[in-house]
Amino acid sequence: MLTGTLAMALSDSWTGQIAGRLVGGAGGVLLNVQMTKNGRRLVAGREIATAMAIFRQFMPAGVALSLLTLPLIGTGYGVSAVYFVVTALIGFGLVLLATTYQLPANSVTPATTSARLDRNAAIAVVARFDLGLYNVGFVIIFSFGPSMLVERSWSIAAAGSIISIVLWVTVVSVPLGGLLADRSGRPELILAGGCIAFAILMVVLPRSTAWC
């Protein structure tokens, strides 16, 4: 992540930007995989839905914070300054991780056989496909929401600001949903109800005249 972002800060070429993005993205994915795995170990046996909901919401919180701050830095000091700030943040995060993070003492890595891998892989495929589909729906809002509002004569800046509210709302709503799932003892009902309500609102939103 550090190398990729630094490459993007120092390179003016399109190839350099793409290469930096590729390397930085690969690092981000590896960090995401490892953090999810370690996060689950840390909260094993406790309110895991609440913990994972909070853990996952730091990503959109970071995106929302970036949407507010990075354009100001870019406008004032140029696009390279944006990458240097992001590089510094990544470095700070890695130092924090190295100095404060510790796996629980009783944490063990279960041995896997090829048969178990097949079984677990099948379960993982379905689980991740589910989360992937949910995120597709979520991403559609801030990918196409601004375009939809611009079609209705909103300015790009105003449309982007309004749609970014979605990210801020989820910073609170998703951990609350996780807490509700843990406390109610019926996480699947909460999940299914939340998805159906979310889908209904997505169908209603473009048809609402309140945006015109």
Partner 1 sequence: MGVFYTLYYATMMLGPAVGGACAKWAGSAAAAFDFGAAVIVICPVILWAFNRIPAALPKVA
- Of 36 and 155, nearer to partner 1 (C-beta) is 36
Q: Binding partner 1 by CB under 8 A: which of 69, 75, 107, 143?
A: 143
CB of 33 to partner 1, least distance (A): 5
Rounded (to 5) percent helix, strand, coil in the chain: 85, 0, 15
Closest among 166, 167, 149 to 158, alpha carbons compared = 149
Does position 155 interact with partner 1 (CB under 8 A)? The reply is no
- Provide the mask over 53-92, with x wherever binding to partner 1 is found by CB under 8 A and - wherever it is not: ----------------------------------------
Closest among 39, 16, 15, 53 to 181, alpha carbons compared = 53
Does position 132 interact with partner 1 (CB under 8 A)? The reply is yes
Query: Which of these ranges, 14-22, 76-84, 129-137, 174-182, lies near partner 1 under the rule CB under 8 A?
Result: 129-137
CA dihedral 167, 198, 120, 182 (to 10 degrees): 80
DSSP letter string, 115-131: HHHHHHHHHHHHHHHHH
How far is Cα 66 from Cα 2, in angstroms, rounded to an integer? Answer: 17
Residues that bind partner 1 (CB under 8 A): 29, 32-33, 36-37, 113, 115-116, 119, 121-141, 143-145, 147-148, 151, 188, 191-192, 195-196, 198-200, 202-203, 205-207
